[in-house]
Amino acid sequence: MPFVRPRYARLLPISRTLLLLMLLALLAACATAPARNPMAQWVPSPNFDQRRPVLIVLHFTGGHSAQQSLQTLRTSNDSGPVSAHYLIGRDGHVYQLVADELRAWHAGAGRWGTITDVNSASIGIELDNDGQSPFAPAQIDSLLGLLTDLTTRLRIPRTQIIGHEDLAPGRKEDPGPLFPWKQLADAGFGWWPQGTLVDPPADFDPWMALGMVGYSLDNRAATVRSFHHHFRGMEGDTLDAQDLRILYALTRQPSVPAAP
């Protein structure tokens, strides 16, 4: 009588494969599960949410290639370990280095409005640029696409997009006076004066206005330089009549960007 192999024997290799896959899935789930304090009884609540950023900070790398900057952002610079969530090359290629929900080390010391721990409250975007050259059109196109994604998906207000030098006047100068803030404003991003600029009333306080917009007043000359880079694309550390018109227009707009 011939030997008949049981039908279940053919399923054995598949069952082993399935068991291995289930074990790998279980290990992966354990690896990503939130840490639980062994001193406490775990009684989970559904009433929570992920911490979300409320600000986007733009930088230039100051380097000469995206690959060089990728290396720096994955190791360190002269000041120690540094990172950003995204890097955009001059050709428009977008790299992500840190997950959106995690804290990248890109902003350092500084503040914007009431936000003092900027790294914890922001997304950092590096632009491959040496700080002396115009930003490439393909790069800005990719930036606009990325800003559309981030502000929509993470619900970041479109006005909450600033430069590194805006939060750290005197310490940082990126993305600098060559960055096309007006182009971003025309696409609906950032903070920009709307309508016809008019002279403010005689009692208008430009320093209070700068503080309302979000700037620190610890070093007023440095703050004016950062303001000039952002809103006028020029150098200079003293306020003039046009600055007052711009500040007056900014403070009369529906909301102040530093208060998300």
CATH number, domain at 104? 3.40.80.10
List, in order, residues 6 or more apart from 140 with CB less than 8 Å away: 180, 183
Per-residue pLDDT at 14 exceeds 70: no
Work out how many domains the chain is built from and give that number: 1
pLDDT bracket for residue 16 (50, 70, 90): low
CB 110 within 8 A of CB 63: no
- Residue 209 falls within a domain, yes or no? no
Task: Specify the higher pLDDT residue, 184 or 12.
Answer: 184
Minimal CA–CA distance to 165: which of 217, 230, 104? 230
Per-residue pLDDT at 260 exceeds 60: no
Per-residue CA distances from 136 to 65, 68, 115, 125, 182 (Å): 13, 18, 31, 15, 15
Q: What is the DSSP string of 106-157?
A: -S-S--BTTB--HHHHEEEEEE---SSSPPPHHHHHHHHHHHHHHHHHS---
Residue 175, preceding peptide bond in cis (omega within 30° of 0) = yes
pLDDT bracket for residue 12 (50, 70, 90): very low
Over residues 45-61, the mean pLDDT reads 87
Per-residue pLDDT at 144 exceeds 60: yes
**Distance from the first to the final alpha carbon of the chain:** 82
Tell me the residue range of the domain where 130 lies.
55-186
Per-residue pLDDT at 45 exceeds 90: no
CB 167 within 8 A of CB 55: no
Q: What is the pTM of this model?
A: 0.83
- Residue 223 falls within a domain, yes or no? no
pLDDT recorded at residue 41: 74
In the structure encoding, which two tokens stand for residue 66, read together?
Answer: 């995206």
Per-residue pLDDT at 8 exceeds 50: no
Sign of CA dihedral 64, 226, 157, 186: negative
Q: pLDDT digit string (tens) for 63-93?
A: 999 999 999 999 877 777 899 999 999 999 9
Q: How deeply is 153 buried, as exposed, middle or buried, from its count of CB atoms within 10 A (0-12, 13-18, 19+)?
A: exposed
CB 249 within 8 A of CB 195: yes
Q: Which of 148-162, 168-182, 212-226, 243-257 has the lowest mean pLDDT?
A: 243-257
Dihedral of CA atoms 186, 148, 134, 174 in degrees, nearest 10, equals 100
- Residue 33 falls within a domain, yes or no? no
- Residue 92 falls within a domain, yes or no? yes
- Residue 200 falls within a domain, yes or no? no
pLDDT recorded at residue 232: 98
List, in order, residues 6 or more apart from 63 with CB less than 8 Å away: 69, 72, 128, 130
In the structure encoding, which two tokens stand for residue 203, read together?
Answer: 């009692």
Per-residue pLDDT at 20 exceeds 90: no
Active site residues: 126
DSSP letter assigned to residue 35: P
- Residue 64 falls within a domain, yes or no? yes
pLDDT recorded at residue 7: 47
- Residue 26 falls within a domain, yes or no? no
- Residue 127 falls within a domain, yes or no? yes
